[in-house]
Structure 1
């Protein structure tokens, strides 16, 4: 069995029906448990982004959101949507929307947990947190050995996924788009990308936040605006677009009936790949934020799911479907026989990915489509890889934070940086199928561990939501004291609450104060 075959087999095993069901049912369950906060708390989401706090050690909610979007908005929003339509039909878009709506509640749970159990980096003073941290600390007082082992397992899987499996997908999409637009060889793109990333990844969370807060909103807004222009140019195509999406989502149209299951699979799989709800990536950026109550950042991160899928992914879907520049293939193989060809005349020789979107835009803006997508995707990919590195570094920090030999910990960090750069170089020059296969394995492995974990650890997040709502009804700015809610091992917040009671500013506790954790 070849390496590619092994990747395909592992991918099919991980992304089988049980994981698809787990993602959807967990999102539905959390939606019900939180009273559909993804609708009820939209004003709180927007308010937090506008008025969020920040400090020398923590980013603002908006910066944290941009860091999170830097990891979410990438190849999945362009190439991922194209592959979903190619192998699941237009109906896959509906299931992407569904996974985003339900996933917003899942994102709230995981990101609120990330805030509750965050720590302060002893070397940099920056806030650190994520699934590994909350898996270890949530039940530390009851099952220390099991919780610690689960946290370590998640950290190891995340380091491998974020430093080796996932960066290659992004680099491959960027190199492919640049080659399509300007004929630049993929190896040239690989060298340039590695050099640029080398300057960024050594700067820490502050530099990542500063970079992301400038680049991400500008590129995402520009991309959505272009899609809006296409929307008006192809205004008469709107009924057909939505007819194809909803009709094929439920197998109403005979041609797509045979791949109804694939529409669900590819829609959810690419939806999770893009918006990352439940994957466990959002809590890393959420923990870096300075807020007075964990639920506040949970709301901000829920909104990130909407931005990613309902805005950016939908923009891609409309460009592709309204221009007819797509083909849907039988089974899950390409090249292969197309069971449906869009009315744009796209050759079946065009590989599913950025090429669909480039050709779609080119049909509206002749000569400009490939170039525009190459530029936008380059920015999306670059910020995504930077965010991947930050998450890998955070989990490495989790494993090494108590090492007395800090030089050894720094050496491991340098090795991690080198691995990310090697993965980027390899991904840029390998085939798209191999790159996507590795990426899907990384996403699926993290999702399995994280969703199962938060189903057991949801209690503190739900208590935080209830506490937030009670304080809002009292007309005060919510402040968090975990001891009042019976939440244990949230040492950061305990020290912060004590400081407030002593007449302090309520700011962040020092690393020395947190030593007792």
Structure 2
């Protein structure tokens, strides 16, 4: 089975997907006239101010929901694996993937808002790639193909977010807790399942409330403490930066032979971490209450920066500046050691232990505990976000059966499949806790890769409405207006939610608690 999964992973994450991610980011950056640079001040303004209603969460809550999915083990263990198998240069390619991916995230998340819908069961907003693929082409002869394409993406997302991806998060969480406190991985699995079951039953509102409190707090604490370590080792920083850039382009003789691995692991872990192009961000973006889709597209583009440029960079500099790294030949721990910083014990496995050792260099004995606590919050909120995305796509596939309230009619198709999904993600968490890190990461990479292939190809075909929304937003802002979206005036068809949207009559809109 392991050999089979490795073979599948090698096909999914071939060079073709790596270059597709990079080329798409370059193309969207040029097409948008570097929206990820021009609109940074507006991104920050929108992040802190926005609307909310009984049907939708605020822009800030949607951002934190998105970060809940983005900020996880990829920011700690993912960075460590990228450095271990791609060398320090992999960190540069993670940065590059974030910069280019911000434009990709803008496109996909704006599309998520344009084609969102109101859940007839809960009244909440839902959307994502499955929705925009199926709705955007309803008026064309290509409707049957893209309806099927949307169903395919929904099925893949249910598989990825319901089974493949949660195991990576729970594995890192259990490993860190076992290393720090000696907790049995089975006990970690049981405790996580109990808490997760309580949260996912509460729906998108509870998810948003939970994430808006936990994610920003833990992200800030993690970044600050990591930077303290870097400052203490400030003398090593110039050398670290030089090493990152030289090895990123094969200029360092030690890492010249693994230049391809640096690009591969940097892009792979960059996409895994910030999820730009993967198709997960649009789910959270669609849940937001905004007067114009471009608003949430800009907010979600900034989320990519928060994830990679801030949190992943903090981890990378922490590991490299303290010497808590080891680089292997052949992209495997069984390969020869090409380079090492000298801080790690010979028994340390690739993963969270790199960051734990880095923190221990200043606070001896506290590193394991801090990383365990950080991963407990980061990984748990990511698993919660995965469930929300899987449930959203299940709602899409159920169609009219999703209108049946599963809480009061437990024998219906919708109720049965929803409960099966809940059971599936709980089983995935348990499997991840007790499996090896290699097995968990292979499953996670397959899930990310499959979603990325489908979503990136789809948004390259469907990109035009996102740019119409961007130009319209910028035009209204230039005129001194608070932009309001009118898809009919822009020639965007099948944006049915917005066709009936009247902000003047929407008395339920309330100022965000943060704006």
Same topology, TM > 0.5: yes
SS of residue matched to 1:100:
helix
What is the CA-CA distance between 1:414 and the residue it aligns to?
0.8
Q: Is the 1:275–1:309 contact (alpha carbons within 8 Å) kept by the matching residues of 2? A: yes
Q: Is the 1:31–1:37 contact (alpha carbons within 8 Å) kept by the matching residues of 2? A: yes
Task: Please show how residues 178-327 of structure 1 align to structure 2 within 5 Å.
Answer: 178-327=177-326
- Which stretch of structure 1 is more off in the superposition, 224-233 or 272-281? 224-233
Separation in 1, partners of 2:221, 2:251: 35
Partner of 2:495: 490
Q: What whole-Å deviation, never above 9, does each CA across 1:290-323 have from its counterpart, x for those lacking one?
A: 0000000000000000000000000100110001
SS of residue matched to 2:467:
helix
Q: Are 1:408 and 2:413 matched, yes or no? A: yes
Partner of 1:134: 132
Partner of 2:453: 448
Distance 1:230 1:485, change over 3 A: same
Q: Which of 21, 24, 28 is the equivalent residue of 1:23?
A: 21
Q: Is the 1:327–1:348 contact (alpha carbons within 8 Å) kept by the matching residues of 2? A: no
Separation in 1, partners of 2:334, 2:452: 29
Separation in 2, partners of 1:232, 1:262: 29
SS of residue matched to 2:327:
strand
SS of residue matched to 1:446:
helix
Query: How many positions carry a matched residue from both structures?
Result: 501
Q: Which of 79, 87, 93 is the equivalent residue of 1:95?
A: 93
Task: Please show how residues 419-434 of structure 1 align to structure 2 within 5 Å.
Answer: 419-434=424-439
Distance 1:404 1:38, change over 3 A: closer
Partner of 1:330: 329
Partner of 2:163: 164
Q: What whole-Å deviation, never above 9, does each CA across 1:148-186 have from its counterpart, x for those lacking one?
A: 000000000000000100000000000111111111121
Q: Which of 378, 381, 384 is the equivalent residue of 2:379?
A: 381
What is the CA-CA distance between 1:279 and the residue it aligns to?
0.1
Q: Are 1:469 and 2:467 matched, yes or no? A: no
Q: Is the 1:335–1:349 contact (alpha carbons within 8 Å) kept by the matching residues of 2? A: no
Partner of 2:30: 32
Separation in 2, partners of 1:347, 1:261: 28
Q: Is the 1:74–1:381 contact (alpha carbons within 8 Å) kept by the matching residues of 2? A: yes
What is the CA-CA distance between 1:335 and the residue it aligns to?
3.2
Partner of 1:6: 4
- Which stretch of structure 1 is more off in the superposition, 235-244 or 456-465? 235-244
What is the CA-CA distance between 1:506 and the residue it aligns to?
7.1
Partner of 1:460: 465
Separation in 2, partners of 1:348, 1:400: 51
Q: Is the 2:120–2:403 contact (alpha carbons within 8 Å) kept by the matching residues of 1? A: no
Separation in 1, partners of 2:505, 2:126: 23
SS of residue matched to 1:477:
coil
Q: Is the 1:200–1:208 contact (alpha carbons within 8 Å) kept by the matching residues of 2? A: yes
> After the TM superposition, which segments of 4 or more aligned residues of structure 1 sit over 2 Å from their partners?
403-407, 505-508
Distance 1:213 1:35, change over 3 A: same
Separation in 2, partners of 1:245, 1:348: 24
Alignment RMSD (CA, Å) = 1.1
Partner of 2:153: 154
Task: Please show how residues 332-411 of structure 1 align to structure 2 within 5 Å.
Answer: 332-344=331-343, 346-403=344-401, 406=404, 407-411=412-416
Partner of 1:505: 506
> Which TM-score applies when normalising by structure 1?
0.96
SS of residue matched to 2:289:
coil
What is the CA-CA distance between 1:90 and the residue it aligns to?
0.4
Q: Are 1:108 and 2:103 matched, yes or no? A: no
Q: Is the 2:54–2:508 contact (alpha carbons within 8 Å) kept by the matching residues of 1? A: no
Q: Is the 1:61–1:291 contact (alpha carbons within 8 Å) kept by the matching residues of 2? A: yes
Separation in 2, partners of 1:473, 1:151: 36
Task: Please show how residues 24-103 of structure 1 align to structure 2 within 5 Å.
Answer: 24-103=22-101
Q: Is the 1:335–1:351 contact (alpha carbons within 8 Å) kept by the matching residues of 2? A: no
What is the CA-CA distance between 1:351 and the residue it aligns to?
1.1
Unmatched 5+ residue regions in structure 2? Answer: 405-411, 510-515
Separation in 2, partners of 1:45, 1:404: 34
Separation in 1, partners of 2:284, 2:382: 12
Separation in 2, partners of 1:445, 1:506: 41
Q: What whole-Å deviation, never above 9, does each CA across 1:246-283 have from its counterpart, x for those lacking one?
A: 11101111110000000000000000000000000000
Separation in 2, partners of 1:348, 1:454: 45
Q: Is the 1:111–1:287 contact (alpha carbons within 8 Å) kept by the matching residues of 2? A: yes
Q: Is the 1:181–1:371 contact (alpha carbons within 8 Å) kept by the matching residues of 2? A: yes
Separation in 2, partners of 1:506, 1:326: 56
Q: Which of 474, 485, 496 is the equivalent residue of 1:480?
A: 485
Q: Are 1:439 and 2:440 matched, yes or no? A: no
> Which TM-score applies when normalising by structure 2?
0.96
SS of residue matched to 1:339:
strand
Q: Is the 2:155–2:393 contact (alpha carbons within 8 Å) kept by the matching residues of 1? A: yes
Separation in 2, partners of 1:331, 1:29: 32
SS of residue matched to 1:331:
helix
Partner of 1:512: none
Q: Is the 1:113–1:134 contact (alpha carbons within 8 Å) kept by the matching residues of 2? A: yes
